[in-house]
């Protein structure tokens, strides 16, 4: 399949079915992730694949964070809000937590590690789309909360770059209207005068 076709037709799919996708498809996504460009060849990504009860780790910590926002964390309002947040951890049968490791040497830049993981995530999303899986990259403030990191045994210097929700699509995404690339690009120089 043409890569440009895969890129054009990739969509974020927020609503997916509860049945577990084939493990081989998830492995293909993860393999593709590891081919992403990265500076100093540090391969700064780590992934945690959550399925079934594995998602409880997210649900529990997100619920704790939510309850902690309330003056009385035991109040009904706090419990209701926590229940709403908990449910978000079960929106897809597979959630891949994509993590950037901190710099492993003096020349390694933390931002570049995060960027490399972002490229890895895009590789995963493209593989998911090419295999008719629905996938969506989500973050939110909980992604950056040290308590979420701690729930996965990650020190604060690790970055959660995204939660990648994956499953079989349950709904068509709405049409999107993207600015064409020429609206985003300036061309400086010469050499293609005979081509339009």
Ligand X SMILES: Cc1cc2nc3c(=O)[nH]c(=O)nc-3n(C[C@H](O)[C@H](O)[C@H](O)COP(=O)(O)O)c2cc1C
Site of interaction with ligand X (CB under 6 A): 11-12, 136-140, 162, 173, 176
- Closer CB to ligand X, residue 17 or residue 138? 138
Min separation Cβ 139 and ligand X, Å: 4
- Closer CB to ligand X, residue 78 or residue 164? 164
Burial of 120 per CB tally in 10 Å (0-12, 13-18, 19+):
buried
- Closer CB to ligand X, residue 73 or residue 91? 91
Distance CA 154, CA 99 (A): 9
Min separation Cβ 188 and ligand X, Å: 28
Min separation Cβ 150 and ligand X, Å: 20
Burial of 175 per CB tally in 10 Å (0-12, 13-18, 19+):
exposed
Sheet holding 94-100, edge to edge: 45-51, 94-100, 159-167, 134-138
- Closer CB to ligand X, residue 27 or residue 172? 172
- Closer CB to ligand X, residue 137 or residue 168? 137
**Residues 29, 31, 34, CA angle at the centre, nearest 5°?**
110
Min separation Cβ 12 and ligand X, Å: 4
Looking at the DSSP bridge assignments, the partners of residue 137 are: 164
Contacting residues for 16 by C-beta, under 8 A, at least 6 apart:
91, 92, 93, 134, 165, 166, 167, 168, 169, 170
Min separation Cβ 13 and ligand X, Å: 8
Min separation Cβ 140 and ligand X, Å: 4
Indicate the angle between helix axes 76-88 and 56-67, nearest 10 degrees. Answer: 150
- Closer CB to ligand X, residue 77 or residue 87? 87
């Amino acid at each position: 399949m043409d890569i440009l076709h895969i890129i054009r037709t990739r969509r974020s799919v927020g609503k997916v079915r509860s049945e577990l996708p084939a493990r081989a498809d998830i492995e293909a996504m993860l393999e593709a992730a590891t081919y992403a460009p990265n500076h100093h060849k540090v391969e700064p990504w780590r992934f945690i694949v959550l399925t079934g009860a594995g998602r409880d780790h997210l649900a529990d910590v997100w619920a704790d964070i939510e309850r902690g926002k309330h003056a009385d964390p035991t109040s009904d309002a706090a419990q209701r809000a926590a229940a709403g947040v908990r449910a978000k951890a079960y929106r897809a049968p597979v959630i891949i937590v994509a993590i950037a490791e901190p710099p492993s040497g003096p020349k390694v830049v933390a931002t570049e590690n995060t960027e490399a993981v972002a490229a890895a995530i895009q590789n995963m999303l493209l593989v998911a789309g090419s295999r008719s899986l629905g996938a969506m990259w989500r973050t939110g403030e909980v992604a950056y909360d040290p308590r979420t990191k701690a729930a996965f045994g990650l020190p604060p210097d690790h970055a959660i770059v995204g939660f990648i929700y994956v499953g079989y699509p349950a709904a068509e995404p709405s049409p999107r209207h993207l600015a064409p690339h020429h609206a985003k690009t300036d061309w400086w120089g010469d050499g293609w005068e005979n081509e339009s």
